[in-house]
Structure 1
């Protein structure tokens, strides 16, 4: 190989490596399909503030954007043995890198309201996904003679609406 050929080969190799580096760093992250979603309870939800309420039905509805950010505009809970009422909607949240979060989560029952941010896990890169929240502690936000906190355990199947 001549000296000129070696230089041209080195320049071509360097240029190809630089182009590959730019292509790899410029590749966009996987995006969620933006739109409406419905999340339905998979199994039972347990809200435990000293005495566990086991709920058999719950639905969350709202929107997801391309970055995985959630806006939960409606929530329902039933089959608990007591009336449980979602409060303070809309809630925000996200599905990001295997972490599911709901911010501003709030529910009341028997004169006690509990709320806060809950997080769990999920797998997948687009709907449908299943998110599991296990023994997430939420603080008492109102009520008299209510325990200071409660735990929430629930699994939701998120599907496009």
Structure 2
């Protein structure tokens, strides 16, 4: 793949990936940025590996990789720094900006407060978009255990789900129980 194609991919997906990695990292900016940088390094290598398996959707691949990288770092308490997060989203209305930052801050705090396994399951399933089977395989657990962890995480995050959808962090149906 050409450098121009890679640059285009970077411009298209960077902010989305930083936002998701930041949430998974519980507000740790350094972890989010490192995770996204590592995802793009892996992307460049994968794009230039003719023997590697083809990737159908680079955006999804990058998001999953960035979330995995963010999850590799140990969880620790950090203060959410609103000033450093300004560059992750381009806001038009100051009132909307304040509201969205508050929702995002609360979501980061809730994610950081989850136990490790439910946080990992939620990040892989609802933020990175892996299937329950893929999450189970990656975590070395059964799909029913994935569902238990997701239920625990959902209970903690449910009050924020609608607001998270408005932020574009989760899409319609993500994080909801499927029938």
TM over 0.5: no
Return the TM-score normalized by structure 1: 0.23
Return the TM-score normalized by structure 2: 0.22
The structure with the larger Rg is 1
Relative contact order: is structure 1 or structure 2 higher (C-alpha 8 Å, sep ≥ 6)? 2
Give the number of the structure whose residues are more often helix, by fraction. 2
